[in-house]
Amino acid sequence: MNGGIPYAEALAAWRAKIPAPAQPLALSAAELLERFHPDRQPGAMVPLCVGASAGLPCRVELAALLQSDSLIEDVDIAGASMLNADVLVIGGGGAGCVAALTAARTGARVILATKLRLGDSNTVMAEGGIQAAVGPEDSLQRHFEDTLRAGHFTADKALVAALVSDGPGVIRWLIQEGMGFDLAEGSGRMGGTLLRKKPGGATAARLLSYRDFTGLEMMRALREAVLLQPGITVLDRHPALELLTDDRGRCAGAALHDLAQGRTVLACAGATVLATGGAGRLHIAGFPTSNHYGATADGLVLAYRLGAALREVDSFQYHPTGIAWPPHMEGQLVSEAARASGAALVNGLGERFVDELNTRDIVAAAILREIAEGRGILRDGRAGVFLDTPGLEQTKPGILGKSLVTLTHLARRGGFDAADEPFLIRPTLHYQNGGVAIDHDGWSGVPGLLCAGEVTGGLHGRNRMMGNALLELVAFGRRAGSAAAADARAERPRNIGLAHLADWRRALIAQGLPLTRKAPLVFPPYGNFDMATERGRAA
């Protein structure tokens, strides 16, 4: 960073120019991304050496986990207690809950295993909304094209087509499950028109929301539905340590660790759905993160070790408006709903420098450029730019108290009034664009193993549009849950064990990789929790 502008000086510049006029990017989008996006920096990537995707470029932090040895051996599962189900769902966020509900409603017996507690996930932190082409001026084709364009045309077109086609039905399903949505002005209490906003990178207003805590409202409805649904057994605080296989190489469930009892539990199933979320708690490139505590790439590690192919694991999303100050709130999100509503981004000279409704990768790179070139704002050693919430309140009186409730609470926690003082923000690690390669029903290519949600790749290409994550977890949670239930009725696991680990360890040794490095991580290192130590204590 080449210096910066002191906070008091920047505040004076902002006040002198409010509202700052819009300005075009000084660089082309391609040059901006190449020079300032964190994924493009020297040394960020290495090729994978082993596994189904050997040769694929991958973030160095993630590659270390993907090419690690298992935490457990055959001896560790001998004599372990065993649970049986038709379908095992690993992950208690939005995608996992939807998959479990869908499978159970077909009559399947479902085990839903969570690392933390049911609902502790990135889903609850999704504030901006969910996309679906439900407006009269919109279309599935426009949503399809917008998604491909935002992802730099690297997404799987078949997956994107499935995503956008499911959109209107997903909204109807969520309303039937009891989820609330904001209604347009003039709508009555008993019904009305859904309020639609235009998200960054979109050509139409298709973002549906519930204030600025849409994901929390979605998770409330899904959690209640799961707890009331017959046929689902929920195992809280049971992280997965390894997937199980049978004598045909088929996924047959998982070895779980009961954190409360300190023991291994085998959950055996005809089909397994991985819905373990992303990797934000790896703090890629040293960035703070908006992700929940359990987001440590466990599902990617387990699926890859079993033979699943990966894609775009060199691509991560850095949300433009993470909090930079105060320090105790660093990395928490200021919802994109603020920019969708008209809040401007302003540098230390009081100037706007980017179209705030551009795609997230471009907006984030533009902010990082301002900081790198000395036009950022410095406060107590933190650097960022302003999100002009007072300007938004002046333009739309009452919006902070009525629609941007979470934003207002965040400002109060930071000790200031968002209607009087702007947020100091900078990008925060937010989303894993790539993951396990799947088909339109969530199949991973490994028999018996399906995936849904952020653990998957292909839907977003190299950049995700806001609002598509909540749509994805419902659309593909439903698809994976339905496919898993149908498959489980036809297949029963047999001769279950960890046979796949022998080949994996031989591959590691052949590449000179150490067997001393173990994964999954389960919790981030600063949690002072080591699974190997924990299991040794229990033994």
Token output for 203: 């050509």
Collapsing DSSP to helix, strand or coil, 515 comes out as coil
Closest C-alpha among 300, 309, 228, 238 to residue 51: 309
Backbone Cα Rg of the chain? 23
Q: In whole angstroms, what is the distance from residue 256 CA to residue 90 CA?
A: 10
Collapsing DSSP to helix, strand or coil, 169 comes out as helix
Torsion over CA: 57, 61, 64, 65 (sign): negative
Q: In whole angstroms, what is the distance from residue 278 CA to residue 334 CA?
A: 20
Token output for 252: 């047959």
330 secondary structure, DSSP code: T
The answer to whether 206 is a known catalytic residue is no
Count of CB atoms situated within 10 Å of the CB of 47? 12
Token output for 208: 């549906």
User: How far separated are the first and last CA of the chain, in Å rounded?
Assistant: 49
Selected catalytic residue, list 211, 360, 369, 464 = 360
3-state helix, strand, coil in the chain (%, to 5): 35, 20, 45
Closest C-alpha among 87, 74, 24, 44 to residue 483: 87
> In Å, how far are 27, 158, 345, 353, 354 from 23, measured between CA atoms?
12, 37, 11, 6, 6
Catalytic residue positions?
A: 360
